[in-house]
Structures are given as C-alpha cells and as structure tokens.
Amino acid sequence: MSKRLVPLILALATAATADVAAQDVPTFTADVAPILYESCARCHQPDGIGPMSLLTYQDARRYAGRIAQKVETRQMPPWHLDKTVGIQAYKNDVSLSDRQIETILTWAAGGAPEGDPSALPPRPELPDGSEFALTAELGPPDFVVRSTPYTVAANAQDQWWTPTTTFEGIIDRPRYVRATELKGSFPDGLKVLHHGHVTLSMTDENGRRSSRPIGRQGVGKGGDLFPENTGMLIQPDGQLNWNLHYFPIDEVVEDEQAIAAVWLYPEDYVPEYETVGEQRFTADMGGDMPWAGDIVLPPHSVKVQQGTHVLDRPALISSFRPHMHMRGRAQSIEAIYPDGRREMLGRVDNYSHFWQIAYEFEEQAAPLLPRGTVLLITTTWDNTADNPINPDPRQWVVFGQRGVDEMSHVWMGMTYLTDEQFERLSAQRTRIAQAGGDD
C-alpha cells in the first residue's frame, strides 16, 4: 500500500466511526422532540396537568433522567395496560412503541444531546384547556350543566362535594345522547378535580325511575363518545346528582364549578342500540359480588380479591376503567362463556392511583358477550414497602372513601342487547373477519 494512502484510509475510518457514533445517539431535535410533541406535550406544557413543561430542549434535558425512568417503566405516557394478555386494540391507546422507548433511553444515556437546531419540528398545536376535548370532533355541545360552586382549600385531605341541581327546561322531550364530557373549570379546576360524576335521576312517561351518567371524569380520562348508532336515552326533567372528588393543590381554588357537556343525536333520530353508559361493577360491595367488608389488607401483604357478575342479557362492552386506591396494583376482567371457555378481556398491571383511565376498545374488538356470560373481576393490592406510593405498609387497610382506604371496582361502558341484536352483531363480526381473511 502506498504511503500516501494510509493517512487517507485512517482519516476515512475515523470519520466513519464518528458518523456511527453520532448516529447511535439520537438527538433531541431530530429524534426525541417528535415523540415528546406527539405523546407528552398536551399535558407537559405550561397550562397542562403535567408537573413540568417538556417543550424546549432545556426542559427536556433537565428532566432526561426522570423521563427515561418513567418511559422505561411504562408509567408515562399514562397507559397502564398489560400488553402481554387480553385485547390489545384500543381507540385511545397513547402508549409508546418499543422503538420510541429505546430512542429516549439511548438519548438520555448518551448525554441527552441537542442535535441540529434546524431539525426541530414545529411546536405542536396544544389543546385549549378551556374547551371540551370532544369539541374538535363533534363541534360545540348541545348543552352544558354546572355544579354549584365549591371552594377547594389549599392544603387539606381529599374533599368531596355532592350537591344536587335541577334538570329542567334544558330539553323539552326525551332525547338520545351521543356523547358526554365532564371537567373542572379552566385552568385551576382541571388540576383539583381528581374524579367525579354527575348522574341524571329521571322518571319516564310510564312513571319508571332510572338514572344515567351524563358525565364521568377522572385524571387522564377524556369524554365518552358512544359507538356509532348507539345512544343513551334521557328524559326532559329530573335531578342531577353530582359526586366530585377534589385533591388540594397547595393554593385555594375559589368557587370551583364542574361542567358537564352533552352532545345529542338529532331530534327524531332513534339509534339502533341503547347504552346505559359507564356502569359500575363492584368486587367490593353489594349485588352479586362480595361485600366491602371483604377488603382487609394486613400490613406488608399482597392480597387478591375476586368478584363475579352474571350477564342476564347479551351485552357489548365498549370500555373499562379500573378503580382502586393507593395500594391498587392490578385489575383484570375475564369472560367465562356459557360453554365454559375463559377469555381475558383486559388487564391493567401497572395501576396508579393518580390516574382514572378508561381503556376504550376498538369497535370490532369490543367484547360481544352472550347471555349467561360470567364477568370475573380480579383485583390485586400491594400493601408492602415495594409499592412506591404506599403511605404506610404497617397499616391495616379496609374499604373506605379516602385514598388511604381501599376500593375495588371497575367501570364498564355497557350496551345491553336483545337476542336478535346480538345475533346480528355476531354475524356481522364473522363477515368482517372472513372478508379480512380473504385479503
């Protein structure tokens, strides 16, 4: 080899190595910002519910270690589903792909470099916190109702506010609801309302009493948009029962009013399927489940509780939303079919008390269950020191309202079907599955 070529080859080799190294460590502008803008910015921005903004390189760099830790353990973005079992097709899945997680971890481990500033994507369009999330899709709601004002103290334990208001003069005849959304008022109410619901107690023209949820809210939960051709029937007069659970945020929030928005189907439209909205299935009290008294968690223990509910009609489940408190770790719903077959529908294995996420099934994947199906709900609590938010593993824990007490139930979006509707939907699914198979 000629003497002149050696330095040239060396130089080329060094350049190549430098290139590989540069390619190995992702940069903020080219690789990480697109992920943060898409999956984190709506909450991690100055007006969002996240504790810090992650819009600029400086912010992201400062929190790089914690970002890596939260995405690696799949705590952020908040999506606490067990990805190894059950149905995996959800409309509102916000989780990161393995590859995106890898990118963030390699970036943080490689010193969190900025990269070429000109590669930075444009700032994402951030949601206006004063608007309802469903407005983007449905336009403004047909009506809104407000709770009576409540002042949330700066520093206190959890607070509950359960006023009633009248529901009169808002609609003038029975109507079908297409969607609902409940939220605290902008900006501080959004931060103090941990979860809440408002139900309409009403009497129909035959004197039958019933109640329907016209807004359910929990941290991380959006509005409820019913599947196509599905509506919830409400009557023109009745009473609204509010149940609002506030968490103080270190500053007084004066005269807070929760707001529920309702979108209706057109006046003469009768949807094919009638839903009852989100319904509570308890593993902890009443009905055909074990009673609340069954929750007894000894100090330093991991405990499991199961409850069952038999469907007396066929049903379509559009979503599920687990509910436990600080010791909650996992919750699953399984179906035991009349022929004995058992199927895991969904399981949350990374539960966080801070979040009330509704896992909304894709329409074709939503469980379609025959009459006689047994729903088996399994709750796991961790009252040991391994649970990072356990306030005190030395305590006995029983059922109760406070975050330091426990609960065990799951909200499910329920549409009960006639036998004829069930047969039709089952046949439709089979047709779609076969058509998909032919492709």
Nearer to ligand HEC, 80 or 303 (CB): 80
- The CA distances from residue 23 to 32, 71, 362, in Å, are 13, 22, 37
Containing H/E element for 379? Answer: strand 374-382
Residues 6+ apart with CB under 8 A from 382: 302, 327, 329, 390
Nearer to ligand HEC, 78 or 223 (CB): 78
71 counts as binding ligand HEC under rule CB under 6 A = yes
Containing H/E element for 23? Answer: helix 5-24
- Near ligand HEC by CB under 6 A: residue from 27, 29, 103, 352: 352
Nearer to ligand HEC, 50 or 236 (CB): 50
Distance of closest approach, residue 183 Cβ to ligand HEC, in angstroms = 13
63 counts as binding ligand HEC under rule CB under 6 A = yes
- Near ligand HEC by CB under 6 A: residue from 14, 19, 66, 398: 66
Evaluate whether 366 touches 316 at the Cβ level (below 8 Å).
yes
Nearer to ligand HEC, 94 or 170 (CB): 94
67 counts as binding ligand HEC under rule CB under 6 A = yes
What part of residues 94-123 is at the interface with ligand HEC (CB under 6 A)?
A: 96
77 counts as binding ligand HEC under rule CB under 6 A = yes
Evaluate whether 320 touches 360 at the Cβ level (below 8 Å).
no
| CB atoms closer than 10 angstroms to residue 430 | 10
- Near ligand HEC by CB under 6 A: residue from 53, 55, 78, 194: 78
What part of residues 36-55 is at the interface with ligand HEC (CB under 6 A)?
A: 39-40, 42-44, 49-51
Terminal-residue alpha carbon distance, the chain? 58
Distance of closest approach, residue 113 Cβ to ligand HEC, in angstroms = 17
Distance of closest approach, residue 416 Cβ to ligand HEC, in angstroms = 31
Nearer to ligand HEC, 49 or 264 (CB): 49
Angstrom distance (rounded) from CA 436 to CA 284 = 41
| CB atoms closer than 10 angstroms to residue 205 | 8
Q: What angle do CA 133, 139, 144 make, to 5 degrees?
A: 70
Nearer to ligand HEC, 59 or 343 (CB): 59
Containing H/E element for 427? Answer: helix 419-438
Which listed range, 60-68, 145-153, 171-179, 387-395, lies at the site for ligand HEC (CB under 6 A)?
60-68
- By rule CB under 6 A, what count of residues binds ligand HEC? 20
Distance of closest approach, residue 352 Cβ to ligand HEC, in angstroms = 6
366 counts as binding ligand HEC under rule CB under 6 A = no
Strand 193-203 vs strand 238-246: parallel, antiparallel, or unpaired?
antiparallel
- Cβ-in-10-Å burial (0-12, 13-18, 19+) of 17 comes to exposed
Which listed range, 69-77, 171-179, 196-204, 273-281, lies at the site for ligand HEC (CB under 6 A)?
69-77
220 counts as binding ligand HEC under rule CB under 6 A = yes
Evaluate whether 351 touches 330 at the Cβ level (below 8 Å).
yes
The DSSP bridge partners found for residue 304 are 380
Nearer to ligand HEC, 107 or 226 (CB): 107
Nearer to ligand HEC, 67 or 234 (CB): 67
Nearer to ligand HEC, 121 or 286 (CB): 121
| CB atoms closer than 10 angstroms to residue 332 | 22
Evaluate whether 240 touches 167 at the Cβ level (below 8 Å).
yes
Which listed range, 72-80, 145-153, 285-293, 400-408, lies at the site for ligand HEC (CB under 6 A)?
72-80
Tell the residue number behind the tokens 């035991």, with chain if given.
336
Evaluate whether 55 touches 44 at the Cβ level (below 8 Å).
yes
Nearer to ligand HEC, 76 or 377 (CB): 76
Distance of closest approach, residue 43 Cβ to ligand HEC, in angstroms = 3
Distance of closest approach, residue 431 Cβ to ligand HEC, in angstroms = 37
Angstrom distance (rounded) from CA 90 to CA 264 = 24
Distance between alpha carbon 230 and the CA centroid of its chain, in Å? 21
Containing H/E element for 199? Answer: strand 193-203
Nearer to ligand HEC, 57 or 416 (CB): 57
Which listed range, 70-78, 128-136, 309-317, 399-407, lies at the site for ligand HEC (CB under 6 A)?
70-78
Angstrom distance (rounded) from CA 231 to CA 274 = 5
Query: Footprint of ligand HEC on this chain (CB under 6 A)?
Result: 39-40, 42-44, 49-51, 63, 66-67, 70-71, 76-78, 96, 220, 352, 354
